[in-house]
Amino acid sequence: MGKSTLVARLRDEVRFHFSVSATTRARRPGETDGADYHFVDEPAFRRMIAGGDLLEWAEYNGNLYGTPRAPLEAALAAGHDVLLDIEVQGAAQVRAARPDALFVFVAPPSVDALEVRLRHRGDTSPAEVARRLDIARRELAVAAEMFDHVVVNDDLDTAVAEVAGILAASEETDSP
């Protein structure tokens, strides 16, 4: 029950536009281009960077990920809240570009629990698990200082309720 599961459940609780990231990573079984990610090759991704088409981008675990700027800006212009599922590197770029954004870090209950989750997914090699755990350790070390809120995703219902509450409180403080 990782971030994607939390986001899917959050959709039942809160109205928002989900920003579909672009990535150079290979599509996993069951993923749909344009819904889960915009799957592009590296040259296309590099053109998006050069053209200023990404609000943020980062390399994570050997692949490139980024937030396409145009759909995000269109959703914001239409008055929608936008949720991004991004890594710490990208969050720092969004913080610089959109200091008014609300940042919530979804943390695993522990690195050991994350390892169990990654191994049980069945689509992650031992080497990739080790790389992702190393990345997670570094991200957890900076999460509290970089993000407005840290939510521990130990129990899915509790984590969804906590994020929904954070978003509702943010809406109340943003209202005139």
How far apart CA 4 and CA 22 sit, in angstroms, is 15
> By the 8 A CB rule, do 9 and 74 touch?
no
> By the 8 A CB rule, do 54 and 69 touch?
yes
Supply the pTM of this predicted model: 0.86
Per-residue pLDDT of the chain (176 residues; tens, 9 = 90+): 678 889 999 999 999 999 999 999 999 989 999 999 999 999 999 999 999 999 999 998 889 999 999 999 999 999 999 999 998 989 999 999 999 999 999 999 999 999 998 988 877 889 989 998 999 999 999 999 999 999 999 999 999 999 999 999 988 776 55
